[in-house]
Amino acid sequence: MPKAVIFDMDGVLVDSMPIHWQAWREAFEAYAIDIKYEDFIKTPGLTCEATALLLGADVLPEAEIPNLGDRQREAAKRMLAEKYPPIPGAEDLIRRLDLAGWRMAIATSGPLANIQLLLRNLPEARRITAFITSEDVQRGKPDPEVFLKAAERLGVMPREAVVIEDSKVGLEAARRGGFTAVALASTFSPEELESLAGLVVGSLHELSPDVLVKLFA
């Protein structure tokens, strides 16, 4: 029987992709550079540092890449403090899993500050007991380190846990770590994700403890 659910955060619990897009645009505007959305959409699931490198390597000196990431983090933190849109169904799913006895963790490529915003804006998220952020790992997704650390903190084996992800690199990380993966089609289309997960859903309302248990049948 599965024992745990590990949530990604951005795009799974919080509809933050539009905010991160605006924050990256603001970060690049400081250098009078206009980035393209088709380049940004390749980055969900990556760490801020990896995203800064991917978006800025061809247009900025190498020494400026860390500053770019810092600008984006500050902009995103400010924007999320002003508007924090939860993914529909997130709080209900967390509550139902907790009442059914599942252990829960969040494993995110974002910083700890974003977890603090989550706990402030989604009261049910206080039922989640483990949090792994970019500050806790050496390697970002698609490396499975963030999920493996979450499982370790929950006291479960990868085969006993479900990872809920919206990004391609996150689903690849779950596969590499030996987890069962559920893809939420909030950032990419179902067709882009179906080969990467055991189940693809369009809404968290489609998930429940019973649905997740059946993935292990």
Rounded to two decimals, what is the model's pTM?
0.88
pLDDT in tens, 141-154: 999 999 999 999 99
**Residue whose structure tokens are 């479900």:** 162
Domains in the chain (CATH in brackets) are: 4-15+85-214 (3.40.50.1000), 17-82 (1.10.150)
pLDDT in tens, 95-151: 999 999 999 999 998 889 889 999 999 999 999 999 999 999 999 999 999 999 999
Bridging pattern class, strands 4-7 and 180-184: unpaired
Torsion of CA 76, 206, 127, 124, to 10 degrees: 60
Paired tokens of 38: 């088709």
Sign of CA dihedral 52, 42, 198, 206: positive
pLDDT at 10 over 70: yes
Supply the pLDDT for residue 142: 95
What's the full length of the chain, in residues?
217
Q: Which of these, 133, 124, 119, lies nearest to 96 by C-alpha position?
A: 124
Euclidean distance between CA atoms 92 and 72, whole angstroms: 31
